[in-house]
Amino acid sequence: MNLQTAILQSEITPRGSDYEIIRRVIEKISLDYRDQPSLEDLARDVGEHPATLQKLFTRWAGLTPKAFLQAVTLDHARRLLDDGMPLLEAAMELGMSGPGRLHDLFVTHEAISPGEYKSRGAGLEIRYGFHVSPFGSALIMATERGLAGLAFADEGGEAEAFADMSRRWPAATYVEDMSATAPYTQRIFDPSRWKAEKPLRVVLIGTDFQVQVWQALMKIPLGRAKAYSDIAREVGKPKASRAVGAAIGANPLSFVVPCHRAVGKSGALTGYHWGLTRKRAMLGWEAAQLERG
């Protein structure tokens, strides 16, 4: 393949394949982030040309690989936590949430009624579809009242992701309907479409405690993080940090309810239902959204 073909090919590569390489880069970085690998090192390790990698990062997140490297280290996660700036101020500074808003995706939500919850989704019709996203294949689930589920799958993991999600509401009816779910994808993964005037409608299906925890997550601004123990304190159960972790793990709306912004007290990324690598990718991607303003 000559140079021109190579360039052409990288330009027409759909965004969906970007994440596969990003994933490999992040995995590599997680292994030896201590010695700050150069772009050249990383490119060699994942079998790509440095220029290709450079281009890919720009397209994926709008930032340089160097900035991205910094964004996925432990050090950075720690900084998200403890620069002491009150969250509300931080949010204002980003030109985002005032007190009346839930979070930067401009979500309005309603919790589902106890009856509906206990019936495990009986009578609920859920439309679903898989779509390309910056974090791999995204499974979107929606009821007529709004977005109800968002999950991720690595290549070939679609069936597993669907099983995982449909287990949560076993009695619901599932209808594959990509035309119904596609608009959600566009909206969710494009920050320029996060507009207060047209809030994303979301249904939160969970227990009181879980919904409280998820609401606390939605108050964390883009590009920042909170410790599980801080969230525990915030919902009035200061000793329940582990229960908070469990509730966060049960969040059916990955990314929209930003469970990736919860980290351990030390700044370490302790866990993520859809894979730690994906959590790192999300934090790195968010850091990039901030940097390009």
SS3 31: helix
Which one among 254, 258, 277, 282 touches DNA, defined by CB under 7 A?
Answer: 254
Asked if residue 237 binds DNA (CB under 7 A), the reply is yes
Both tokens assigned to 217: 């997550």
Smaller CB distance to DNA: residue 140 or 227? Answer: 227
Asked if residue 287 binds DNA (CB under 7 A), the reply is no
> Which among 91, 87, 126 is positioned nearest to 105, based on CA atoms?
91
Torsional sign, CA 197, 202, 206, 210: negative
Asked if residue 217 binds DNA (CB under 7 A), the reply is no
Asked if residue 163 binds DNA (CB under 7 A), the reply is no
Which one among 122, 178, 249, 292 touches DNA, defined by CB under 7 A?
Answer: 249
Task: Tell me the number of residues near DNA by CB under 7 A.
Answer: 32
From the CB of 229, what's the least distance to DNA, in Å? 3
Asked if residue 265 binds DNA (CB under 7 A), the reply is yes
From the CB of 171, what's the least distance to DNA, in Å? 12
Q: Which of residues 142-161 bind DNA (CB under 7 A)?
A: none
Which one among 46, 92, 132, 243 touches DNA, defined by CB under 7 A?
Answer: 243
Q: Which residue of the set 22, 148, 256, 259 is catalytic?
A: 259
Which one among 139, 147, 262, 283 touches DNA, defined by CB under 7 A?
Answer: 262
Quote the CA–CA distance of 284 and 293 in Å, as a whole number: 15
CB 23 within 8 Å of CB 281: yes
Q: Which of residues 173-212 bind DNA (CB under 7 A)?
A: 207-210
Instruction: Show the DSSP H helices in the chain as ranges.
Output: 3-12, 18-32, 39-46, 50-61, 65-71, 74-82, 87-93, 114-118, 158-166, 178-188, 208-218, 228-234, 241-249, 276-291
In order of 16, 60, 154, 186, the CA distances from 133 in angstroms are 6, 10, 11, 9
Looking at the annotation, which residues are catalytic? 259
Interface residues with DNA (CB under 7 A) are 207-210, 227-230, 237, 239-251, 254, 259, 262, 264-265, 270-274
